[in-house]
Structures are given as structure tokens and as C-alpha cells.
Structure 1
Amino acid sequence: MLIKVPDGGECRESQVTPEETYLNRRRVLKGLVASAAFSTVPSLSSLAEASRYAGVAVAKAPAWFDDKLLHAQWQASPDGESLTPFRDATHYNNFYEFGPDKGDPARHAAGMVTEPWTVMIDGEVERPGQYSVEDLFAPSRLQERIYRLRCVEAWPMVIPWLGIPLAGLIERLAPTSAAKYVRFETLARPEQMPGMRAGFSLIDWPYVEGLRMDEAVHPLTLLAVGMYGRVLPNQNGAPLRLVVPWKYGFKSIKSIVRISFVREQPKTTWQAMAPDEYGFYANVNPQVSHPRWSQARERRLPGSLFSPNIRQTQLFNGYADQVSHLYAGMDLARDY
């Protein structure tokens, strides 16, 4: 098994940051830069953990993210799995708002403004409104989750994410009993997203994705704000993205600006564009081929089509023990 899922939302009194420490957090962070021996200070152990990934570029993070990094819950490295190098994970992306080529997001996403950032919460929910990312994450402790990410194009990665279980946020927002699905929407800002200006007309912007409610509240479903111990790069969906590890990567929507609780199954972007190729569920399934290629095998990055990184695709991307019950009685070839 790749991961051990921690209980989300648990916080003992002993874990609460003392008021004096909180008020002096800026001084602590400045002292960290000046001190070569910071890893020996127990209260800064999480910052030491955050720097453990090799080759990770340093980027400016919002103050609230730095604060939460001090007390993040870190995960042990998985057995038998090699993490995808940071550069590959940040320079081989699909984010069509910045262009159709894999390198376009890394080349063009730096111009996207991510501060301030707000998310509209609406629909069948008791606490609708416009929330900042800081507001959404305020009561929660960041957790690291090391997940496989499997693209529908048959290439996977293994990425350490930082975020919170989506279930905890949903519980706080209090959807009504009428809410059966969760709809997500990506930022659409053509002046900062050259892929939209280039006339990629197949997509009806903004990009939309959705989950059934039981999928959204599953313990594996993560709302991520970081990766590799640092804040999310723009090309990877800053400042807020979804990570649903048992589904193809296009379900893990990036740069979220709206979360809606709805009665009916939302029409998602790829489902609307090519319903014969992309279904609503998009569960990783080696037995159900894409109309233009097989899903039975995958090419783990970095690597080539002729490298030893070719391997068999796992049902539900290797998370079958955790999620297969969600689809009991369904025809996975029909409800793809």
C-alpha cells in the first residue's frame, strides 16, 4: 500500500500553538534563515521536514502558508515507490489555460496573480460566501500525502502533496441534504492565461470538474496548497487544487475559484467536449481503454516509451482497497 491515511481534523490541546509563539512567528522565521543549526530545535522540526526534497526551487509563499508549515503533519516515504523529481513534476503538465504543450504551463504561468485569492462557495450549502484560501484552511493543520497521479494519457507520477482532506472543509461548510454532487471551477483570466487567448476553441471556459458527494468526502480526496514541502507552483494549480488519486489526473482540477454544492451531476469540461472518450467518473481502469489508446500499461516519468519504467496499470491507480466500495454494483465499463 502506498500511503497510510492519517485521521483528518484531529488536534489535541498539546498541539495548539502557544499565543506567544504565534505572535512571534515572524521573528522565528527570520531566525531560521540566520541559524545553521535550526534542525536541532524541536519547534522547527516541520520546517526541517519541508526542506528535505532535493532540487526544489524556492518560491515566495503567503504568510499564512509559512505559518501552517511550522506545524504540518509529514508522511514517511512510501515503500517501493520513487518520488517523481521536482523538475519533472513542475515542467511536464497539462494546464491548457497556459497552452497545449507540456512545457507551456511552466513557461507562461508565472504571470498568474494568486494573491489575493478567493473562492466562491454556493449552491445547496448552509454557509455560502466568498472565502479567502486562508479562511478555508484556518482551522486545519496541513497534511502531507504522497500519492500516485495517473494521467489519462498513460503517464503517472508520484508526488508529495500538502493540503487538507476535502471532507473536513465540506463538513464546516454544511451542505444540505439536497446536495448530491460537488462542482469545481477553475480561474478564467485570459489576460494572464495565454492559452485562452491563443484560441484553444475546443474548450468552453472556465474549466469545470465534479465529484459525487461520497467521492468528495472520501478520506483520500485532498484539497492541496503545496507540494514537495513548499507552496504550489502556478503551473501545478496554485494556490488551490484538488487531488483525487484514484482518478485520472484531469479530475484533479487546478486553481479553483468556485465550489458549488449541486443536486444534479455537473457537466464537466472533458465530458462535454468528448463524451465518448471522457466520462464523469474517470476512474483509473486498465480494463477500459481510451478509444485512441490502451490504459493497460503506463509509462512512469521520467522515462521514455522504451524505458524500464513501463509497468502495468493498477485498478483505481492502486487504491482499490480504499475506494472500490464506492462503485459497488456499477458497471465500470459503462460508468467510466
Structure 2
Amino acid sequence: MSTPPDKKDPVAERRILTPGSNLNPRREFLRTAALFTGTVAALGGGLEVLTRRPGAGSAEAQGTDFVRPARPLGPYDTQEAVTSYQQATTYNNFYEFGTDKSDPARLAGSLKPRPWTVRIDGEVKKPQTVDIDTLQSWFPLEDRIYRMRCVEGWSMVMPWLGFPLAGLIRRLEPTGKAKYVQFTALLDTKQFPGQRSNVLDWPYVEGLRLDEALHPLAFMAVGLHGKVLPGQSGAPLRLVVPWKYGFKSIKSIVKITLTEKQPQTTWALAAPGEYGFYANVNPAVPHPRWSQATERRIGELGRRKTLPFNGYADQVAGLYAGMDLRKFF
């Protein structure tokens, strides 16, 4: 994520997707995930649609875009047009697969999202290792349509499926010493060929303050665009923090640790002058090598103004009362 904004991407058609279903989303998702034990197809082809089983030759079966039955927008949803599935899954930063935007989609077949366990430890009363299917069965799955802003200056609008991070943290019962939450991604050079390089210090580590993690916008995603989360998007479990730059939303999580001390996060260690711990979207503070005042929405011509906290200022600005928001966190 240390490269400057790329302005050469072709413009492709976008489609407004209205997520939701009159079926039970968790039951459908668990049915899908139970079938999802083999290699993830690089572009998501063959993935089961969460709301219904696609017929042969259908758009869903081919992994292309479709419109789900409408539901009322939730309190955290943006009304902006959604980035297409094809764009969202072929233009990715996921250095575990490689540093080129096309590497994750091209190489995601090496990732095996089942079986998968997540270790939860540190300052919690209930440390444990839990299977991913058991973990996601603890919570009713929710649709969330969030903006996503990359520190490089491009953005998307993503329809996620998952559960609030706060629910998981409260279930684990943090101790009085817990002040931060550290997330660790899978380290496996066979599944992640990009980890064979020294571009970053592996495994990838990210973190939040505990009050940030407990905010209702902080989200653990297991699905995207009504499909099981594909490998290039962080299968089988990723963090989504929509008011922060995208590199904060760690993918393919295998460990969650509550700590008393601020975690040493991957990008803050790799380039401390460019990527800090907080990484809140702030258009008034330029990256050392480019402006953050505008962004290029994938699928659009031209650029648009970047909003403070990526448009979520009303919900999250209070978390940083008294802090210098002009500082590049």
C-alpha cells in the first residue's frame, strides 16, 4: 500500500445492489460455508449465493453481479451505489499474495479457508480457540453497506455480511486491563506466496483501541456481495473498520488478542512516517507523497472529495475528542 494512486484503471459498469433476503441469512450462510471446503476460485466462481442456490448458467452461478431482494437500509448503510463484485474482487491490496493489484485474484486459489480456527487470548476471562463455523454461528449475520477508502487515494462501496466486533469482544469478557485489541493474520507461505518476500514483516498485525473495537461500526465480515467471502477479499474472516484507511481492515484472521499495551502494527513498523496506528481518514492531512483531499471511486471517471472519517464523522468523531486530528495518525 505504499505505491501512489493509480489512475490507469478502466471504467466498468456499476450496479446498485440492495442487500437483504426474506430467508434466514445465517442458516443459508452456514449451509454455504459447509460446502466451502475446497480451494477458493480466484474470482469467486462457483461460490454459493447466500440467499438461494443458483441455477446452472445463472449470473449467480457464474460469480457475476446480481440484485438481491430489497430490504430497508440499516442505520449504518450508505445509500451510495455499490462497487460491482467483479471490480471488488479483482482490484485488491493483499500483500500476502503479492504487491500487484491483480495478484490476489490470480493467486487466491492457494488459500484454504476450511478448516480454520481463530485463537482468542490475552486480557479476557474466556480465552479459547474456536472453529470459524462455530464462531460465526454465535451471532446473527447482518448486511452492512460500507464505504472503503484506501490510503492510496481510491475507494469502493462494499456490501459485507458478518457481525459486529463488539459482540465477540463482550462474549469473551475482557478484563479490566484490556485497552487494545490486536489482530493477527495467517502466516503460511504455501497458502500466501507473497509471504516469501520481505516486503513486510510477517505475519500481518493490526490493532484497535478497545473503545474503537466496541463501536457498532466495527465489523467482522464473512461474506461479500451475498456470497461467501472470497480468498482475495480476506476469507474466511476479516475486519472492516469503515472510518479508517483500508490497511487497518486486516484479512484472514487467525488470532485476536486483547492487550494492555498498544500493538506494534505491521504498516506502522514498516513505514512509521507514512502509516500510523490510528489511520483515521482525514482529507486535511496529506500522505507524505500525495494529497488525501480527493479519491478515485473505482468504476467512476474523475475524482471526488474525501470526507472526514470517510463520511462517518457523526458516528465516530467523539472517539477522538481532544486529539489532534491534523496529525497523520
TM-score band (shorter)?
Answer: 0.7 to 0.9
CA distance in 2, matches of 1:166, 1:80: 23
2:35 aligned residue: none
The one of 264, 275, 285 aligned to 2:272: 275
Specify every segment of 5 or more residues in structure 2 that has no aligned partner in the other structure, as ranges.
1-22, 32-49, 64-69
CA–CA separation in structure 1 for the residues paired with 2:257 and 2:224: 25
Preserved contact between residue 284 and residue 317 of structure 1 (Cα < 8 Å) = yes
Q: Cα gap change, 1:257/1:220 in structure 2, threshold over 3 Å: closer, same or farther?
A: same
Match of 1:42? none
1:323 is the counterpart of 2:316:
yes
2:155–2:297 contact (8 Å) kept in structure 1: yes
Q: CA deviation at 1:139?
A: 2.5
- Equivalent positions of 1:93-172 (< 5 A) are 93-172=92-171
Q: 1:57 to 1:49 in 2, by over 3 A?
A: closer
Cα distance in structure 2, aligned partners of 1:57 and 1:275: 44
Contact 1:75 1:146 survives alignment (8 Å) = no
Task: Quote the residue 1:243 is aligned against.
Answer: 240
Offset, 1:140: 1.2
Q: Which amino acid aligns with 2:161?
A: L
The aligned counterpart of 1:3 is none
1:173 aligned partner: 172
1:286 CA displacement? 0.3
**Superposed counterparts of 1:179-198, under 5 Å:** 179-197=178-196
Match in the other structure for 2:305:
312
SS at match of 2:146: strand
TM-score by length of 2: 0.79
**Structure 1 unaligned spans of 5+:** 1-14, 27-45, 60-72
Task: Work out which of the two has the higher radius of gyration on C-alpha atoms and give 1 or 2.
Answer: 1
Pair 1:50–1:254, CA change in 2 (3 A): farther
Aligned residues: 278
Corresponding residue of 1:218: 215
Q: Secondary structure at the match of 1:278?
A: coil
Task: State the Cα deviation string for residues 141-187 of structure 1 (Å, max 9, x = none).
Answer: 10000000000001010010000000011110111010000000011
Secondary structure at the residue paired with 2:120? strand
SS in 1 for 2:171: helix
- In structure 2, relative to structure 1, the CA distance for the partners of 1:229 and 1:300 (3 Å cut) is same
**What is the identity percentage for the equivalent residue pairs of Structure 1 and Structure 2?**
57
Higher mean displacement: 126-135 or 155-164: 126-135
RMSD: 2.8
Cα deviation for residue 55 of structure 1 reads 5.5
CA contact (8 A) 2:144 2:161 kept: yes
Cα distance, 1:80–1:164 mapped onto 2, change above 3 Å = closer
In structure 2, give the amino acid aligned to 1:214.
D
1:91 matched to 2:90: yes
- In 2, Cα distance between the equivalents of 1:79 and 1:185? 29
Q: Which amino acid aligns with 1:167?
A: A
Deviation at 1:47, TM superposition (A): 2.0
| Aligned-partner Cα distance in 1 for 2:154–2:179 | 31
